[in-house]
A and B are shown apart, each in its own frame.
Chain A
């Protein structure tokens, strides 16, 4: 199978998250992933887009969020690109749930979810762009991945 690419661009508003999930679900399903993996892809992309909207653009609604799906024979990759503030991915520390509850704090788990659900999570700063690449391999179903 040749490489197939699809793209959706949304403004940085949470209103569009459901459209993003539908877009990812459709392509992941057509790619042949199981229902569990389709759910994992949609959740991981939702978390990435939510981080962009809340943190990279800091609530600014006009910033573009570009979602690009690349389907290769062996892997399915979703790239989320924005022009907001950069993120220190390497120094992200997984929050502790008990501590978050004690601190009455509800956020910070998005990257943790992405890493738990995806086979590969990569971040890069390219000029004025941030890019997060979320990858599932085609044979993901047979791996010991988290079931959603």
Chain B
């Protein structure tokens, strides 16, 4: 039994993953499969939306660590948005805010992807 789910949404060229429930060592493979599905579909601009993410352990954070380089190598990024404070604090504990874009809203993350696309240094 798993109380974790990933729902896929598209906003222009950005793939949004809505996470819900608890992301732990049991459910991390589901999240990993979701990221792989994005890459298999050539979706490299990914937003992980955490409004309904209730919990994360290092196993969940490990999925971000394992895939971010590949996504960036392909010219994209994984931006993290709308985390609940107790979940954000786990990202913060391991130093994620220095190496990942963690934003308050999905809108901000989409804007940042758009800037990167049209900006002077937006060639990847």
Chain A interface (Cβ < 8 Å from any Cβ of B): 13-15, 17-18, 21, 35-36, 39, 43, 46-47, 50, 53-54, 97-98, 100-102, 104-107, 109-110, 112-113, 116-117, 146-148
* Other-chain contact of A53, B25, B58, B86, B93 (Cβ < 8 Å): B25
How many residues in B have their beta carbons less than 8 Å from beta carbons of A?
A: 29
Q: Give 10 nearest A-B pairs by CB, closest first.
A: A106-B62, A14-B26, A106-B66, A109-B58, A50-B25, A14-B25, A106-B65, A148-B89, A97-B95, A46-B57
Q: Are B24 and A50 in contact (CB under 8 A)?
A: yes
B62 and A97 within 8 A (CB):
no
Number of A-B contacts (CB under 8 A): 83
Residues of B within 8 A of A (CB): 1, 3, 22, 24-26, 55, 57-59, 61-70, 86, 89-90, 93-96, 98-99
Q: Which of A39, A106, A113 has the most CB of B within 10 A?
A: A106
B86 and A148 contact, CB distance less than 8 A = yes
A-B contact sample (5 more), CB < 8 A, given A106-B59, A107-B59:
A15-B26, A46-B57, A50-B25, A97-B95, A105-B65
Secondary structure of the A side of the interface?
helix
